[in-house]
């Protein structure tokens, strides 16, 4: 049976043919958590260039901090490209890209960015979308899979945070392989292994499988959450909504 879906604000894709961040290992030291058995899994489809996804990440972290067994939740970052038609290594002007995608003027696209920047500030994020250019994120998604293979959910989350920050607050060229390598090394990955993965097609199939699953689930925008394979939520849901869903999913999980 397909998971039920709740919707909120998100970034959308056009196809081509709160609380300050705290690492999960720090949350695990929180007293009072002690759920026994297999963890509830939260899958998050996102793109590192999506400001709503960064907002959604902060809200999820806020929900996990409030949830009594938040340290027992396993978060898996899934791949979703907002601009899958962009060639690897190519960058385009962000306002031109958004204007063409949404059928608006550059000024209207700039106003859209200003509105989401103001909203992100309420979550403690200092976005600088005025510095950003849009490029392919396929390689970044491949290295997020490498991070999970090498260091589990903690390393994958650390890299997701670093990629969000590099692009959305630092304006770094996220389609550039040298940039991806530097960000990945900062998150704890081995430079040689990252370069080798980028030079070949490592984890390309994993990225495509994530995107196939997103389509099968009906996800047309991100962030898109699936909690314990049972409940789907579209958009950057408020932390209190996420807590409620975690409670419901936890009860179903314990009941089997």
pLDDT at 27: 44
**Phi, psi (degrees; rounded to nearest 5) at 173:** -75, 95
In a domain, 75, yes or no: yes
pLDDT at 240: 97
Segment holding 99, helix H or strand E: helix 94-102
In a domain, 33, yes or no: no
In a domain, 128, yes or no: yes
pLDDT at 25: 40
pLDDT at 5: 57
pLDDT at 32: 30
Do the Cβ atoms of 244 and 182 come closer than 8 Å?
no
Question: pLDDT tens, 140-152?
Answer: 999 999 999 999 9
pLDDT at 127: 98
- The residue ranges of the chain whose pLDDT is under 50 are 1, 13-36
Q: Provide the 3-class DSSP secondary structure of residue 179.
A: helix
pLDDT at 3: 62
In a domain, 24, yes or no: no
pTM, entire model: 0.87
pLDDT at 38: 80
In a domain, 32, yes or no: no
pLDDT at 15: 34
Instruction: Provide the domain limits for residue 251.
Output: 4-15+40-255
| Domain CATH code at residue 158 | 3.40.30.10
Residues in Cβ contact with 254 at an 8 Å cutoff, skipping those fewer than 6 apart: 37
Between CA 139 and CA 159 the distance in angstroms is: 13
In a domain, 25, yes or no: no
In a domain, 171, yes or no: yes
Q: What angle do CA 54, 67, 117 make, to 5 degrees?
A: 20
Question: pLDDT tens, 97-122?
Answer: 999 999 999 999 999 999 999 999 99
User: Which residue matches tokens 């898109």?
Assistant: 224
In a domain, 191, yes or no: yes
pLDDT at 34: 34
Structurally, the chain folds into a number of domains equal to 1
């Amino acid at each position: 049976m397909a998971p039920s879906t709740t919707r909120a604000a998100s970034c959308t894709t056009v196809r081509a043919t709160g609380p300050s961040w705290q690492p999960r290992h720090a949350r695990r030291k929180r007293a009072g958590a002690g759920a026994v058995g297999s963890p509830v899994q939260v899958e998050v489809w996102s793109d590192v260039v999506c400001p709503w996804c960064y907002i959604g990440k902060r809200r999820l972290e806020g929900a996990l901090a409030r949830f009594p067994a938040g340290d027992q939740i396993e978060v898996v970052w899934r791949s979703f490209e907002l601009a899958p038609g962009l060639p690897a290594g190519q960058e385009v002007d962000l306002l031109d890209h958004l204007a063409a995608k949404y059928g608006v003027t550059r000024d209207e696209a700039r106003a859209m960015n200003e509105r989401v920047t103001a909203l992100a500030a309420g979550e403690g994020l200092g976005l600088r979308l005025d510095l950003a250019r849009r490029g392919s994120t396929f390689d970044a998604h491949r290295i997020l899979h490498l991070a999970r293979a090498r260091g589990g959910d903690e390393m994958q989350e650390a890299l997701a945070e670093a990629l969000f920050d590099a692009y959305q607050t630092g304006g770094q060229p996220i389609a550039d392989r040298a940039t991806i390598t530097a960000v990945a090394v900062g998150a704890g990955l081995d430079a040689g292994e990252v370069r080798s993965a980028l030079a070949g097609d490592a984890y390309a199939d994993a990225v495509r499988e994530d995107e196939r699953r997103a389509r099968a689930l009906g996800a047309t925008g991100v962030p898109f959450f699936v909690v314990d394979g049972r409940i789907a939520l579209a958009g950057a849901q408020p932390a209190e909504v996420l807590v409620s869903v975690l409670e419901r999913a936890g009860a179903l999980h314990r009941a089997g």
